[in-house]
Structure 1
Amino acid sequence: MNQSRASQKDAYTLILEAIDTGLYRPGDRLVESELADRFGVSRTPIREALQRLETQSLLARDGRSLIVASLDHNQMAELYAVRTELEGLAARLAARHATEEEVQVLRDMVEEDRALLDDPSALSRANRRFHKMIHLASHNRYLVQQLDLVHRSMALMATTSLAAEGRGEIALSEHQAIVDAIARRDEDAAFQALRDHISVAFVTRLKLDSARQLEL
């Protein structure tokens, strides 16, 4: 990474983005010197960033090494329980507060994302953008902050539920239902559509993880 980019972002943000984009996956070891070389920053801010990420449970200790943390079944269930309620609230508030321009952006996202159905990784990134847009459309800064924390922890999951066969197309249909409810200013329908969407995603992820465990 070049120095100009590194100078615009702190070490914490750079490492967090690397985890979020899958550059570092659960179980990968993070080494101060390697991170400093990759991001073009000194080891002191890297060390401070690693300590902060460990405090937030995004990194874990493996002997003397720090590795990207992973979520067990109970942690994943707890995360989805919180995410379901917060995302539902974001959709409810978006139905109440979203501008017409924000609603149009959400509509455009659903249409544009149909071109990504054969690329789960790209669709996963687009999915994050879609949900982030709903968060912002809620016009509640405190809710956005809490959802940012939840979505950081989502990066600790080894797979995306969108990798399951047929899930991408179903997810986009669910996205369309969410946007339609927001556009109608139907707060209850938006809340329920978003909660149902997260619930289906959780079931899909559980099935994927179960199949992956059988392969180990």
Structure 2
Amino acid sequence: MTDSDGRPHPGPAGSDGEPVYADRVYRSVPGVISGVLLLAVAGWLIGDAALNGTGKTPWVSLAAVPVFILPVVAYTLRPAVRANARRLVVRNPLRTITAPWASVDALRAGYSVELLADGKKYQVWAVPVSLRQRKRAARAQDRAGRPQHTSRLGLMFGQGAEPSGPGVQGSADPNRAWSDQVVGILQEMAERNASHPDAAGPIEVRWCWWIIAPTLAGLVALIAVIAA
């Protein structure tokens, strides 16, 4: 499983003399790949139905475009987490949460990643939790804690085991699951930047109407075409 590492890129110095870094960006690469594949298959099926279908089939297929395509985009390609010295931006399928670091209470990873801010809880879709990765990470940490020994073939076992999964730039422990590494980095950024003068302010929640409205309109059109 491969995911983005959120590696920042240094930019020019800011007004306070400190270097300004581009936002760290985290998203699930497998989610993006699955979304692209779904869109490719849907485009082929819908195009074939629109060009070669008979009766109401072409119209039904065209009316189904926003009903299927937009949710796939929303749930696979859209989710992302962006973080800089001032704020955390969580882009979920249907809304975007902008939280200045001073308003962030905690980030935690249980069965899903959650942002706790101003007494409210928000899901973080862009950082999925993999229990399989966690089990693999636990086995890797267990192997790393065992005494090192050499086999009859000269292979080394025990300490110094390779990381169990994709490492994240800035993570203190590359043997943890990817989601746990990301949460650790974001939590550390929250603690470090909470006192930043530009990191204060209210949380902003914006709904993604460019996905919601066309999907609902397409659903109405699809029902009307089928019922006609």
Q: Assess same fold via TM > 0.5.
A: no
TM-score by length of 2: 0.25
Q: Which structure has greater helix proportion?
A: 1
Structure index of larger Rg:
2
TM-score by length of 1: 0.26
Q: Which structure has greater strand proportion?
A: 2
